[in-house]
Amino acid sequence: MVEQPFLNPLGVHALVWVGDTSPTSVNYAVTKTKETGYDLLELSLHDMTNLDVAAARRRLADAGLRVVCSRGLSFDADISSEDLAIVARGEQMLHDSLQVTAELGGDHLTGALYSALGKYPYALNDAGRRNVVTVLGSLARQAKNHGITLGLEVCNRYETNVVNTAQQALALADDIGEDNVFLHLDTYHMNIEEDDLVRPVREVGERLGYVHIGENHRGYLGSGHLDFTAFFHALVDINYTGPVTFESFSSAVIAAELSNNLAIWRNLWNDGEDLARHARSFIANHLTAANTS
């Protein structure tokens, strides 16, 4: 086997395979992730009450796969709220998610940890932002005890009102002030909110901890208009060696809560395995080209 010229673990989001985290679904997602050549499986914890954590950990270990956990919050458990009862529910949800991540053997919890996942009818206010900083500071300190880093995923304006650009996420991470809080860039969101796909990568630099690769319409990579060549070269320019995870959604795989929140209304693909194999090759080829040019 020819050695890869890049060090990045390649991951795939479980929603390419399944819409929930029942034992049968997790087993299927692990099997397919391994078969299609990925190193890492990202599990969304939106369905974590159905997750058999011990069984999932064994299955992941048997397959030799790393795991990353991700999530957003709900409007009744939103730490950017001014309502302290709502904030408290969100804080508990985050700490429960951190515990699940640790029990799965994961070392990274990421996503829209700072707010509900959905369209807000108003701008974030100072009180809400202070609540985010307080809760995530506490969560980060607890995460250190487990050797876990936290990721602040930069999401678009239709999914959060807290951080929509890399600059806003850097400012939030600075205010949280913990050295295990990193940024998570996603090409799908960057396409909506950033001026280009290069400058944010360079601005974040060594504080980049996780990357989502998604097309502008969240379908097959290369079938849209994103400048992935420039993006992958930017990752190499900053010596990023962290995970690069493929994320794609289609109404072919339904996760009711997330599908509604993310507006997944149409089939962008029907065959998750073909999609995943194509994405694995696409990402590896771009990383290889960027590292050898």
> Which residues are identified as catalytic?
153, 247
Tokens 């904030």 locate to 87
Q: Identify the helix (H) or strand (E) that includes residue 151.
A: strand 149-153
Q: How far is it, in rounded angstroms, from Cα 106 to Cα 109?
A: 8
Q: State the sign of the Cα–Cα–Cα–Cα dihedral 209, 118, 267, 219.
A: negative
Give helix 228-237 / helix 272-292 axis angle, nearest 10°: 50
Whole-angstrom distance, CA of residue 1 vs CA of residue 226: 31
Q: State both tokens at 76.
A: 């009744």
Pairing of strands 40-44, 10-13: parallel
The full DSSP string for 185-243 is EEHHHHHHHSS-SSHHHHHHGGGEEEEEE--TTSSSTTSS---HHHHHHHHHHTT--S-
Length of the chain measured in residues: 293
Q: Are 149 and 181 in contact (CB under 8 A)?
A: yes
Contact 12, 273 (CB under 8 A): no
